[in-house]
Amino acid sequence: MSAADLTTLTAAQAADLLAAGEITSEQLVRAHLERIEATGRADGLNTFLHVDAEGALATARAVDEDRAAGKPLHPLAGVPVAVKDNIVTTGQPTTAASKILDGWVSPYDATVVERIRQARMPILGKTNLDEFAMGSSTEHSAFGPTRNPWALDRIPGGSGGGAAAAVAAHQAPLALGTDTGGSIRQPASVTGSVGVHPTYGSVSRYGAIAMASSLDQIGPHARTVLDAALLHELIAGHDPKDSTSLPDEVGDFAAQARAGAAEGGIRGMRIGVIRQLQQAEGIQPGVAARVADALEALREAGAEIVEIDMPHYRYALGAYYLLMSSEVSSNLAKYDGVRWGLRVEPEEGPVTIERVMAATRAAGFGPEVKRRIILGTYALSAGYYDAYYGSAQKARTRIIEDFTAAFEQADVLLAPTSPTTAFRFGEKTDDPLSMYLSDIATIPINLAGVPAISVPAGLSEDDGLPVGVQFIAPVREDARMYRAAAGLEAALEKAWGAPLLQRRPAVEDLLAASGEADAEGVSE
Ligand code: GLN
């Protein structure tokens, strides 16, 4: 197999070929490293903030040796993975795409990283994100935005734009991300990949740099539902180091994904459509059309479509931005110029602890992070606590109740993931509120802690860019979510042929064209 072919393999296909001895992990890792080198660096898609070629190759060679020696291996052993740079790793930096953590190397591994190391998946590197995972476009990264592999002048979503773009551009078959308000699913949606927000508490958050702890969740990025399920199974399960970790056994996600894709796999499943979301303003016509196609495909596969009311849906965005900012203001108080990364002394006057903290934060945090810290501090201040934080908590409870009621009428819910396809750079940076509206369909899920998966639903007719739809399941029913999602994936594959869903964006051509355009600019 040529190096180019190796990067087109899904994780499940690569795992099978490795097990059969038809390819080696070293070949697989090398092929992905070459592709990152060719398309992922700062002057390319800018997907990676750090690449650990040596570390990844060392793991790969060791796995190959053990396989040759007939030692027992995890099914994903030797399959490479990328890690979002707000998940801590020993041996390479973790920055959360913030200047305040530039150059910081964690003394310990996140639990999810420990698990991928135990399974011996080579870690390719750390992917770009909006600073501290705050944003929907990766434009808030202190190290420059990631470009969308489908159109270089477009955002790859956020905050996990680096991870989603890396997976969509075939630089990695799998990646680990974090989803506080949609940061795995929305980037998946706008890059034509798969992204999962697991049930809150089912995957350890230990070692995820905290943004808003009651909402943060680690989950998989992949190109297929089955691949996401395989990685999810590996990282899920109880962790005593995370006080909100559930004691549950890990579900049979991959088996359910296979069952859902089989003939009749989702027959009789009741799929709820949220009326308020279907009619929400700001949904791009091309997105609405793909959601309608997906529903039609599900109906043809034997599912039953039911309409669901979520009366408190309209409070979700406001509640999220208050609760999230409040938690952010508390979680980020630890970046004080003393314990981590950057330390800046005041330009003049006495060097007191307060003044060092102020100078460090002024220089180290970007505008979006500052905006949220200030908003959260205000919302939590004594005079406003009840009016803002208290009301937002009440709205959150109502939204949870809406989901509980919805799941009495439907097995899973289906909704658009992002109201639009990938927008252009700069389109929303001057207007934070319009950026926040990108999360309108993803944040209710985080508020309720329920699992959801974004699946590619084809390209929009408006602009030819990817559209994603998400399946939402009740708390602890992640397995059901995989079944439904794989059912849709199979139905769409049948309707359109696999190439539309598995298609690889022509990144090389786009990069070459933009390089030529730049060169012309210089010679003029
Ligand atoms: N885009 C959302 C925000 O800016 C979600 C972020 C996330 O999930 N980390 O808050």
What's the gap in Å between 186 CA and the centre of ligand 1?
9
The whole-angstrom separation of Cα 162 and Cα 130 is 9
User: pLDDT tens digits for the chain (524 residues)?
Assistant: 787 799 999 999 999 999 999 999 999 999 999 999 999 989 999 999 999 999 999 999 999 999 999 999 999 999 999 999 999 999 999 999 999 998 899 999 999 999 999 999 999 999 999 999 999 999 999 999 999 999 999 999 999 999 999 999 999 999 999 999 999 999 999 999 999 999 999 999 999 999 999 999 999 999 999 999 999 999 999 999 999 999 999 999 999 999 999 999 999 999 999 988 877 778 999 999 999 999 999 999 999 999 999 999 999 999 999 999 999 999 999 998 888 889 999 999 999 999 999 999 999 999 999 999 999 999 999 898 899 999 999 999 999 999 999 999 999 999 999 999 999 999 998 888 888 999 999 999 999 999 999 999 999 999 999 999 999 999 999 999 999 999 999 999 888 776 666 678 999 999 999 887 776 654 43
Q: What is the pLDDT of residue 524?
A: 35
> What is the C-alpha R_g of the chain?
22
What's the gap in Å between 24 CA and the centre of ligand 1?
38
Q: Could you tell me which residues come within 8 angstroms of residue 255 by beta carbon, excluding any fewer than 6 positions away?
A: none
Active site residues: 84, 159, 183
Specify the DSSP class assigned to residue 148.
B
User: In a mutational test of the pocket of ligand 1, which residue from 185, 197, 218, 324 has the highest number of ligand atoms less than 8 Å from its CB?
Assistant: 324
User: What is the side-by-side strand order in the sheet with 412-416?
Assistant: 48-51, 123-127, 81-84, 175-178, 218-222, 194-197, 452-459, 466-472, 412-416, 270-274, 304-308
User: In a mutational test of the pocket of ligand 1, which residue from 87, 136, 368 has the highest number of ligand atoms less than 8 Å from its CB?
Assistant: 136
Q: What is the pLDDT of residue 501?
A: 66
- Atom nearest to 158 CA in ligand 1: 1
Angle at 281 between CA 276 and CA 282, to 5 degrees: 130
CATH number of the domain located at residue range(s) 43-52+79-263+278-314+396-513 in this protein: 3.90.1300.10
- Two tokens at 361? 């934060």
What's the gap in Å between 25 CA and the centre of ligand 1?
34
- Two tokens at 243? 């006080």
Helix (H) or strand (E) holding 444: helix 443-448
Q: Which of 142, 29, 156 is nearest to 82 (CA)?
A: 29
- Atom nearest to 186 CA in ligand 1: 1
- Atom nearest to 212 CA in ligand 1: 9
3-state secondary structure 462-486: CCCCEEEEEEECCCCCHHHHHHHHH
User: In a mutational test of the pocket of ligand 1, which residue from 137, 141, 159, 320 has the highest number of ligand atoms less than 8 Å from its CB?
Assistant: 159
What's the gap in Å between 212 CA and the centre of ligand 1?
10
**Domain assignments of the chain as residue spans, ordered by start:** 43-52+79-263+278-314+396-513
- Atom nearest to 180 CA in ligand 1: 8
Q: Which of 67, 70, 93 is nearest to 79 (CA)?
A: 67
Q: What is the pLDDT of residue 523?
A: 40
Q: Whose CA is nearest to atom 4 of ligand 1?
A: 135
- Two tokens at 456? 């590619």
Taking the complete model, does pTM exceed 0.85, yes or no?
Answer: yes
Q: Which of 286, 283, 42, 45 is nearest to 153 (CA)?
A: 45
What's the gap in Å between 291 CA and the centre of ligand 1?
23
Ligand 1: residues with CB < 6 A are 133-136, 158-159, 178-183, 211, 324, 439
Q: Whose CA is nearest to atom 5 of ligand 1?
A: 181
What's the gap in Å between 135 CA and the centre of ligand 1?
5
